[in-house]
Amino acid sequence: MDLVEALAADGLVAVVGAGGKKSTIYELAGRLDRAVVTASVRIPIFDDDVERVVVTDDPVGAVAANDEWPLGVVPEREREDRYLGYDPATIAGLADADVDAVLVKADGARSRLLKAPDDREPQIPRNADTVLPVASARVVGKSLDDTHVHRPERVAEVAGIEVGDELTAEDVAAVLANERGGLKDVPRDARVVPVVNMVDDESLRRTAREIADGILERTTAVDRVALTRMDRGELVDVVS
């Protein structure tokens, strides 16, 4: 099984969470013949990660007219280091585009290793085919605080622990498998493939498998978990 197959990366794919969201999107985009990269939230400038970026209020038209892949589409450049994102309903209109996948950054995490969404997140298009909740294996053993986690108070609430506690594999699994965490606002018919990233060595692989086992024990909404090292574009393992 290759990375694209493991992550069910076809159709409209929303990527959420922390610890490798953008690298997952760009790695998948580079492996597909015809991929679109976009966002429903702010996204750092990514011109170097795709063939070209089109700033447009008509993403459907821009995709239909395109012949250079992967293509980025965004509505506006907010400032020199980031673009704004589209309304999810606008991205939903790309579902019928003649492409392999539309890859959507659907929330933010401020480069942390784990997160739980706030009341306004994630911004997942209603017709998403696949949702990829991401977390880093490296967060295990770290303190539940702002240095390592985006919205630590939310993570504490979802996992049933306290801010400042040392995070365990079970805590990360609890967040990814929870409807207030990695499963929040997932469309009813969407496939969910959690991604445990930064599996950089054998110790982290064991940690990641613990997280994966914990996810599969907690929810029937998930049938497999992908363990990855996106800095090398590697699918380390698939746990099912």
Q: What are the chain's domains?
A: 3-239 (3.40.50)
Question: 237 pLDDT band (50/70/90 cuts)?
Answer: very high
Distance of CA 213 to the CA centre of its chain: 19
Q: What is the pLDDT of residue 108?
A: 95
* Main-chain phi, psi angles of 6, to 5 degrees: -60, -35
| Mean of pLDDT over the chain | 98
In whole angstroms, give the CA distance from residue 123 to residue 18. 15
Q: What is the pLDDT of residue 116?
A: 98
pLDDT in tens, 197-234: 999 999 999 999 999 999 999 999 999 999 999 999 99
pLDDT in tens, 116-138: 999 999 999 999 999 999 999 99
In whole angstroms, give the CA distance from residue 177 to residue 174. 5
Q: What is the pLDDT of residue 185?
A: 98
Determine what percent of the chain is predicted with pLDDT higher than 70.
100
